[in-house]
Structure 1
Amino acid sequence: MFGLSTRKQHREHAHRWNEALRTRQKELKTSVGVHDCKNEPAAPPCGSKEAQHPGSFCPFTTLMADSTPSFKAADLVIQLSPSSKTKPDVLDFGTVFTDHMLTIEWSVTEGWQAPLIKPFGNLSLHPACSSLHYGIQLFEGLKAYRGDDNRLCLFRPMLNMNRMANSAKRACLPAFDQSELLECIRQLVEIDQDWVPYSGSASLYIRPTFISTEPSLGVKKPTRALLYVILSPAGSYFNNESEAISLWANPKYTRAWKGGTGDCKMGGNYGCALFAQYEAVDYGCQQVLWLYGEDQQITEAGTMNIFLHWINEDGEEELATPPLDGIILPGITRQSILELTRKWGEFKVTERYLTMDQLCSALKQQRVKEMFGSGTACMICPIGHIMYQGENLHIPRQDKNSQLTSQIAKELTDIQYGRTSSDWTYLV
């Protein structure tokens, strides 16, 4: 009886949801001239190559985009805080927040509300909120940098907006205009610009978050949602980013799997990794090296994409990283490293599968030059040791003047802090 009742509730919910959506469509056609979709090209199947490509669409997202126009930055309402908080001398990652936040509410009946910048404060959520019960939520991470010329800039922020939109599709959250969100974020950073550190090794971390605020139980498409952005001044993610970190590799834990959400930035992907992370700490390691499949493919390191600089099986100098096959997060720093090193043309740059057997063999044959992780929070992080099958594998590092990690880090930070002109920077 419970199963029948649940299915009936879901059918009733879907009926109410669709009725509200049709009513909203009729209102929009008469009020703002939204065009009829019947002559539009058909959406590709959700499993097709077109639907999986970043920036593509699935039927639900297309419906949302047509029926509920995005919020507009031009409608942004600003409520300034009457006073500014004291800024800390020491920056512990993610523990201190700026004076203001951005919130944008959505409902299936009213669509997107006007964006609001207001004093930083707590959220009020219904106890049955489905983001709390079923994990219908996602987030992003990017940074604002203060350049040597005192100008503020973001690093390739449209890639973050695109990734967030793709994660929203997967979570059945409503579509939004990526450029409009970026402009709202730009204005938030501009208002709190005094919080951007005057430092070449620190930045202002930007955390866009998108949650369902559906106030009822039951696994279903949300009828309400909240997109919000908070800011936090940040120093180094690790205590000393020049020091190589240690990884614990054990195939008994899996971070992501084919057909799952490993390529989306959803909170559940990170919460589920905590147990393995603390087991890694028990073994004296700082992060987990995530493996996948019977051949123990190397996928990610902690919250980082991973790169191997080596002499491959064919005797070629190569920089290799696992491909985006659905279980790897498409990192912005990862993409930038690939584009940057391919532009150099100094060695082979490949997206390919790497296994622990291949790595162990290369280490024995002294073909490994160095190994590192990449991500927005940590930027570039060298790897020094991997604990695997009871053995501590030493990962070599090149002379400081020839380290690839140092070269990449310098080129990227020069762009981020405005020392090198690039179309990857976005001025605030």
Structure 2
Amino acid sequence: MADTSIPSFKAADLVIQLSSSLKTKPDVGEFGSVFTDHMLTIEWTATEGWKAPFIRPFGNLTLHPASTSLQNAIQLFEGLKAYRGDDNQLRLFRPMLNMNRMANSARRTCLPTFDQSELLECIRKLVEIEQDWVPHSDVASLYIRPTFVSTEQSLGIKKPTRALLYVILSPAGFYFKTTDAVSLWADPKYTRAWKGGTGDCKMGGNYGCSLYAQYEAVDYGCQQVLWLYGDDHQVTEAGTMNVFLHWINENGDEELATPPLDGIILPGVTRRSILELSRKWGEFAVTERYITMDQLCCAVKQQRVKEMFGCGTACMVCPIGRVVYQGQDLHIPHQDAKVTTRIAKELTDIQYGRTPSDWAFLV
């Protein structure tokens, strides 16, 4: 819920300035490399509160060199998508979950609160204006990137008195350059997040600090990092994805498991949706539990692993085919990944309107 102590901006006050020169819409290229004609900006100051939301031509921002978003990483972002269905209707997938997560991240960053429903309506209007940018494809979409930064002009570390919330759009195809199963490098010397930290918030600093390990993973012949935590090397996330393991567990039971939300794991919208979908099937145990690398290694050796996959808004559902860990090369079954395939189909059927669902928000 929004903090009513800080009055929110209102979508009814939205000001729209359309561009006089529209871009030629290219084919969908590399993820996040092409942007639409317009953007949404909403300014805030402690003295004047929220200004009116403003949809304007896409353009560069002007920031003071001492802005604390640049100096102290007081900033956050979100990610969701607009899909064009077979019926030509545009849909967002469970967008209020993204709005709520963004508000939680804002509280953790000491940025001002806002009414999530009002922001969603502003985003809906922006997507409506840019509807011709939504690909006519069931393997592509329009990626929506809400971003919230401090514009406080100070080298001191303090609560911002100025901020900017903005939203940009980018047509998006596949996140990875290949549709094959990804390979993961697991090394406990690097930690993505820790208890009491900000691993459960979508802050830029969580991602920038992962680059060094990411490139070391490539040196080991892997595409992504499998992040571990603790002395027992708990599995947490894979690159920017939540992780699921479909296996026969230690008790001999068939189980779909994912690490719990204990402050380290990002509460992904796709993650939550997969848990809810698979629990409705009622075909095997679906749990949120800790999984250690010793357990995974043992299960692979005993051929108890059925499949493993990562998930997220950008990458959707991505099979995992290999994990490199302390000299061991663990090969994960993925050629006949029935659960991965089924989950991906059920989610995309909702997103593209083939299956009616209240998870689909019409634009």
Which amino acid letter does the alignment assign opposite residue 14 of structure 2? L
1:91 pairs with 2:29: yes
Alignment deviations for residues 125-150 of structure 1 (CA, whole Å, 9 cap, x no partner): 01110100000000000000000000
Unaligned runs of 5+ in 1: 1-54, 56-60
CA distance in 2, matches of 1:253, 1:325: 19
Q: Which residue of 2 aligns with 1:407?
A: 342
Aligned match of 2:201: 264
Q: Secondary structure at the match of 2:55?
A: strand
Q: With the length of structure 1 as denominator, give the TM-score of the two structures.
A: 0.84
Task: Looking at secondary structure, tell me which structure has more helix per residue.
Answer: 1
CA contact under 8 A between 1:370 and 1:398: conserved in structure 2?
no
Match of 1:229 among 146, 167, 183: 167
Deviations 1:87-108 (A, max 9, x none): 1124210000000000000000
Structure 2: state its 5+ residue gaps: none
State the partner residue of 2:158: 220
- Asked which structure has the greater CA Rg, the reply is 1
Q: C-alpha separation between the residues in 1 aligned to 2:30 and 2:213?
A: 23
Matching residue of 1:196: 134
Question: What is the distance in 2 between the residues matched to 1:386 and 1:107?
Answer: 47
- Residue in structure 2 matching 1:385, options 297, 322, 327: 322
Paired position in structure 1 for 2:116 = 178
Once the two structures are TM-superposed, the CA of residue 392 in structure 1 deviates from its matched residue by 1.2
The percentage of aligned residue pairs carrying the same residue is 80
Are residues 1:137 and 2:75 paired?
A: yes
Matched, 1:123 2:61: yes
Is contact 2:226–2:236 with CA below 8 Å preserved after alignment? yes
SS of the equivalent of 1:404 reads helix
Quote the offset at 1:396 in angstroms: 1.1
The residue type equivalent to 1:250 in the other structure is D
The equivalent residue for 1:40 is none
In structure 2, C-alpha distance between the alignment counterparts of 1:311 and 1:110, rounded to whole Å: 58
Amino acid aligned to 1:299: T
More RCO (CA 8 Å, sep 6+): 2
Q: Please state if 1:251 is matched with 2:188.
A: yes
Residue 103 in structure 1 maps to residue 38 in structure 2: no
Count of matched residue pairs: 363
- Offset at 1:398? 5.3
Q: Partners in 2 of 1:399 and 1:117 — Cα distance? A: 46
Corresponding residue SS for 1:405: helix
Contact map agreement 2:227 2:235 (CA 8 A) in 1: yes
Contact in 2 for aligned 1:369/1:398 (Cα 8 Å): no
Per-residue deviation, 1:208: 0.0
Q: Distance in 2 between matches of 1:89 and 1:290?
A: 34
Q: Residue 399 of structure 1: CA displacement? A: 2.5
1:73 and 2:2 equivalent? no
> What letter matches 1:121 in structure 2?
G
Are positions 1:362 and 2:299 aligned together?
Answer: yes
Alpha-carbon separation, structure 2, partners of 1:358 and 1:213: 46
Which letter maps to 2:118? E
Match of 1:159 in 2: 97
Distance 2:250 2:240 in 1: 28
TM-score by length of structure 2 reads 0.99
Residue-by-residue CA offset, 1:174-215 (whole Å, 9 max, x unaligned) = 000000000000000000000000000000000000000001
- Residues 28, 172 of structure 2: 8 Å contact kept: no
The structure in which a higher percent of residues are strand is: 2
Q: Residue type of the partner of 2:47?
A: T
Counterpart in the other structure of 1:33: none
Is the CA contact 1:292–1:299 (under 8 Å) kept in the aligned structure 2?
yes
In structure 2, the residue matched to 1:278 is 215
Which secondary structure does the structure 2 equivalent of 1:135 belong to? coil
| Structure 1 CA distance for aligned equivalents of residues 218 and 301 of structure 2 | 26
